[in-house]
Amino acid sequence: MALSQLKQKIRYKDCGFQRRYESRYYWFPEESPPSCLIEVSQRDPYHDMTLYMLVNLATMKIIDLDVEEDRVPYETCPHAIKSYSYLIGEDISYNKIMRKFPEDKTIGCLHINELLQNAAQSFSSAYAFFLKERNFPAEWDEYRMYEGKLDAKSRREIGRHWWMKDKGVRNSCYSFSDRHETQDLKQQVKPLDSITSLMVKEFRNARSDR
């Protein structure tokens, strides 16, 4: 079925259910210790919930977390919040958090689990863009067109080649496939640290400043 047919099928139809997740990351590199406050929300006809998680960027461990529930379906829902205090002191790692959900599922919350999953899963991407903004040459950055003279397409290609320097990004999808790579741009970004190198340096600097 063509995309136009799929869209036509719902053109005059009410939506039966809608759920939206939003995640926001606020950076405080000037504080001691440097930190990030993560705010993740889930909204649907039955839930309006927000997770707040504070992360120590010097150790990449969770300093504090809490959940605000403005709307939940049952009176018993808020009682699950306190069971997540066990995550304080744990690494902000997707794999580790996924393995750290309460073994006794009857004391936790499916939707708080989803908020935690969203927060941890997007953290690396958010941190990568934070470091890119601080370290990537402004005259090459497609989001800072007010600096330099390069057009947007040229900047995008330079940026794509910089992302592809990193083994975790290279060949991870069609846009980051090395089929799009050119030697000229590969050499142009060669002197720059990869995103993983930047993360390691930032982590070491943050620890040494403690």
At residue 158, what is the residue type? I
Element (H, E) at 88: none
Domains of the chain by start residue, with CATH: 18-122 (3.30.390), 131-206 (no CATH)
144 vs 203, more confident: 144
Phi, psi of 42 (to 5 degrees): -130, 125
Q: Is the pLDDT assigned to residue 206 strictly greater than 90?
A: no
- Confidence tier at 105 by pLDDT (50, 70, 90): confident
Give the separation between CA 175 and CA 173, rounded to whole angstroms: 6
Mean pLDDT to the nearest integer, 160-175: 95
Mean pLDDT of the chain: 92
Q: What percent of the chain stands above pLDDT 70?
A: 97
Q: Is the pLDDT assigned to residue 210 strictly greater than 70?
A: no
Which range is least confidently modeled, 14-23, 91-100, 106-115? Answer: 91-100
Q: Is the pLDDT assigned to residue 54 strictly greater than 70?
A: yes
Q: Is the pLDDT assigned to residue 194 strictly greater than 80?
A: yes
Dig out the tokens for 42 from the structure.
């889930």
Give the separation between CA 66 and CA 78, rounded to whole angstroms: 11
